[in-house]
Chain A
Amino acid sequence: MSGFEQVGFGSDDFTTNPEPRCPCLLLLDTSHSMQGRAISELNRGIATLKDQLANDALAMKRVEIGVVTFGPVNIDSGFQTPDFWHPPTLSTTGDTPMGAAIEQGIDMLRERKQRYKDNGVSYYRPWIFLITDGSPTDSWQRAAQLVKDGEEKKEFSFFAIGVVNADMGILAQIAPRGPLKLDGLNFRELFMWLSSSLSRVSASSTGDRVALPPPSGWTEV
């Protein structure tokens, strides 16, 4: 994949699709340690996300997926509704600049919200979904502070998922909600849960709290 943002025709078409949007940003670790089964299961999981969302006509109009991989930090796809989003086939590339990836992601969401406002489209609280199997190889303290502030101001909901040997201690310092540990390589179950959660959130009306399905089948007990 090249580094520039690929935008399909009509992927940003607020005129033909005035539905409120629910942006979901995937921050995906593609460092060398993800080589082998981990990356192939992750790829399978991402494809599942699109397939599952396709079963929900409204989610297809409302959910927008964005993908940032690290490292190096790369915007794989800007925010697009699932019908325009092509799940990438990721390969492992480098180290783990998690801090830079989080900062990049928060910037992207800020820009996206502005696009919604400019186009008179309303929106739901965005989701950031970080998936990593390691520990950051860059400075992550500023990112952690941004996440903490963002969660406090309800700018987004931040979820951190640790895979295999991930440094859960550092993830706990980054994610105020507390990180979750993926059971083995159950990426497929994780993305099925994400899909049904996004369906529920993007269909929710008044009320701040949305009851999400329990994260069963993919978290380590």
Chain B
Amino acid sequence: MKWRIAATCAIGTSHIKNDKPCQDSVRVRLVQTPNGPVIISAVSDGAGSAAHSEIGSRAAVTTATNLIENFLEAGGLVRSIDRDAALNWLAQIQTAISTLASEGGASTREFACTLLVAVIAAEDAVFFQVGDGAMVVREEGDEGWSYVFWPQHGEYINSTNFITASNAAEVLEFDAVSRRIREFSAFSDGIESLVLHYGTKTVHDPFFNNMIAPVRQAPNEGLDDELSQSLLNYLTSERVCARTDDDKSLVLATRYEPGAPSADAAS
């Protein structure tokens, strides 16, 4: 039961047009622990209105994954991660960003970004999120996909929460589950409208079923570079860009093996 992963960030056409960099960042790590492999996924979307948000989002995913990796390597268990632990990590990520800001003589606000983190072990998983975008999971025995947190939008679709804001700790959503998650995806708001139905608050299953299929066929454990490249090609294709002009991040991970009996325990 090995995790196979594809992950990428694609610059939005409006960013190309307005000479802005890709402000999304993604980092996925697979950590081997005595209790089996643990996947750490971090996605961050830098605010379009913030001057250095691509640096902010990069720092957010790097710091988040490093902190969690250190925690696991020191023997920490996924099931012991609680809201306070997540808040503690959030505070350290905020410190990392404000250090970058003061070094550059800029305001922290110019590094504004969202953050979506998942830590998934064999039998347990932890999720936390500030801002929009979403994470979706398919559990053992489930046909469809379900969202972990609904994207945080204010009244207007282009407003959200950022980890650099003073209310980040209050708006951070946290969830710890003791369930077997077989497949996972995380994405930034650039593809929200393609994969979520706002009216019914549901996940568009066909999208994820189609996208996860090639990942299931990947032969080796961990992040598949070739698949990630073809995912990038897909996300920058005409078809996708006709429907969204924003930066797009997508993580796809599966430990489902075609032909394997579905009830076997994760190794």
Contacts and interface: CB of A to CB of B under 8 A. Distances in A.
A35 B160 CA distance: 46
Nearest to A58: B245
Contacts of A20: 157, 193
A150 interface: no
Given A119-B199, A121-B198, A125-B156, A210 B245 contact: no
A2 to B, nearest CB: 33
Nearest to A119: B199
A207 B158 contact: yes
B179 interface: no
Interface stretch (A95-103, A136-144, A175-183, A198-206): A198-206
A51 to B, nearest CB: 19
Contacts, number: 74
Contact of B47 (A19, A122, A201, A206): A206
B112 A207 contact: yes
Contacts of B160: 206-207
Interface in B225-267: 242, 245-247
Interface in B161-180: 162
Interface in B35-56: 45, 47-50
B158 A120 contact: no
B242 A204 contact: no
Q: Which of A119, A122, A200 has the most CB of B within 10 A?
A: A122
Contacts of A208: 49, 158-159
A200 B18 CA distance: 9
Interface string A153-175: 01000000000000000000000
A18 interface: yes
Interface in B10-55: 12, 14, 18, 45, 47-50
B45 A206 contact: yes
Given A18-B193, A124-B157, A210-B158, A205 B246 contact: yes
A211 interface: yes
B157 A207 contact: no
Nearest to A209: B49
B8 to A, nearest CB: 18
B114 interface: yes
B48 A205 contact: yes
A86 B148 CA distance: 44
A221 interface: no
B-side interface size class: 20 to 34
A123 interface: yes
A125 B158 CA distance: 8
Contacts of A207: 47-50, 112, 158-160
Mostly, the A contact residues are loop
B222 interface: no
A85 B193 CA distance: 25
B189 interface: yes
A53 to B, nearest CB: 15
A204 B132 CA distance: 13
Contacts of B159: 125, 206-208
Q: Which of A200, A206, A207 has the most CB of B within 10 A?
A: A206
A19 B153 CA distance: 15
A22 to B, nearest CB: 9
A205 B193 CA distance: 12
B156 A206 contact: no
A205 B18 CA distance: 13
Contact of A123 (B47, B156, B162, B193): B156
A215 to B, nearest CB: 18
Contacts of B193: 18-20, 122
Interface string A16-40: 0011100000000000000000000
Given A204-B48, A206-B131, 4 more contacts: A120-B199, A125-B158, A154-B155, A208-B159
28 contacts: A18-B193, A19-B193, A20-B193, A57-B242, A120-B197, A120-B199, A122-B153, A123-B156, A123-B157, A124-B156, A125-B156, A125-B158, A203-B14, A203-B245, A203-B246, A204-B158, A205-B48, A205-B246, A205-B247, A206-B45, A206-B114, A206-B158, A206-B160, A206-B189, A207-B48, A207-B159, A208-B49, A208-B158
